Amino acid sequence: MSNCTIVTEFLLLGFSDTRELQVLHFVIFLAAYLAALVGNLLVITVVTMYHNLHRPMYYFLVNLSILDLGSISVIIPKSMANSLLNIRTISYSGCVTQVIFFPLFCIADLAFLTIMAYDRYVAICKPLHYETIMNKRACIQMVAGAWVGAILYSTLHTGGTFSIPFCHSNTINQFFCEIPQLLKLSCSDAYLTELGILVFSTCLISSCFAFIIVSYVQILPTVLRIPSKESQNKAFSTCLPHIIVVSLFVSTGIFAHMKPTSGSPSVMDLFVTVLYSVVPPLMNPIIYSIRNKELKASVRNLIHRRVFDNNTRFISIS
Q: Is residue 318 part of a domain?
A: no
Residue 312 pLDDT > 60, yes or no?
no
Residue 111 pLDDT > 60, yes or no?
yes
Q: Which domain holds residue 228?
A: 9-306
Q: Distance between CA atoms of 227 and 114, rounded to whole angstroms?
A: 28
pTM value is 0.86
Task: State residue 265's pLDDT score.
Answer: 59
Residue 134 pLDDT > 90, yes or no?
yes
DSSP 141-175: HHHHHHHHHHHHHHHHHHHHHHTS-B-S-SB-SSS
Confidence bin at 309 (pLDDT 50/70/90):
low
What is the average per-residue pLDDT within 161-186? Answer: 81
Q: Distance between CA atoms of 196 and 190, rounded to whole angstroms?
A: 10
Q: Distance between CA atoms of 257 and 277, rounded to whole angstroms?
A: 12
The pLDDT tens digits for 63-101 are 999 999 999 999 999 999 999 998 889 998 999 999 999
Task: State residue 2's pLDDT score.
Answer: 46
Confidence bin at 314 (pLDDT 50/70/90):
very low
Q: Distance between CA atoms of 169 and 185, rounded to whole angstroms?
A: 6
SS3 82: helix
Q: What percent of the chain shows pLDDT beyond 70? A: 86
What is the average per-residue pLDDT within 10-21? Answer: 84
What is the residue-averaged pLDDT of the chain? 83
By CB neighbour count within 10 A (0-12 exposed, 13-18 middle, 19+ buried), where does 302 fall? middle
Q: What percent of the chain shows pLDDT beyond 90? A: 36
Confidence bin at 181 (pLDDT 50/70/90):
confident
* 60 CB-near residues (< 8 Å, 6+ apart): 112, 115, 116, 119, 139, 143
Contact 159, 193 (CB under 8 A): no
* 73 CB-near residues (< 8 Å, 6+ apart): 33
Task: State residue 302's pLDDT score.
Answer: 79
Q: Is residue 87 part of a domain?
A: yes
Confidence bin at 303 (pLDDT 50/70/90):
confident
Task: State residue 9's pLDDT score.
Answer: 85
Task: State residue 212's pLDDT score.
Answer: 93
Q: Is residue 314 part of a domain?
A: no
CATH of the domain at 286: 1.20.1070.10
Q: Is residue 294 part of a domain?
A: yes
Q: Distance between CA atoms of 39 and 53, rounded to whole angstroms?
A: 17
Q: Is residue 3 part of a domain?
A: no
CB atoms within 10 A of CB 267: 9
Q: How far apart are the first and last CA of the chain?
A: 75
The pLDDT tens digits for 229-282 are 888 888 888 888 888 888 888 777 777 666 655 555 566 777 778 888 888 898
What is the average per-residue pLDDT within 194-222? Answer: 84
Task: State residue 1's pLDDT score.
Answer: 44
Structural domain total, the chain: 1
Least confident among 48-52, 63-67, 193-197, 211-215: 193-197
How far apart, in Å, are the Cα atoms of 298 and each of 34, 46, 58?
Answer: 21, 6, 12
What is the average per-residue pLDDT within 174-188? Answer: 81
Q: Is residue 4 part of a domain?
A: no
Q: Is residue 311 part of a domain?
A: no
Task: State residue 33's pLDDT score.
Answer: 94
Q: Is residue 254 part of a domain?
A: yes
Residue 18 pLDDT > 50, yes or no?
yes
Task: State residue 251's pLDDT score.
Answer: 79
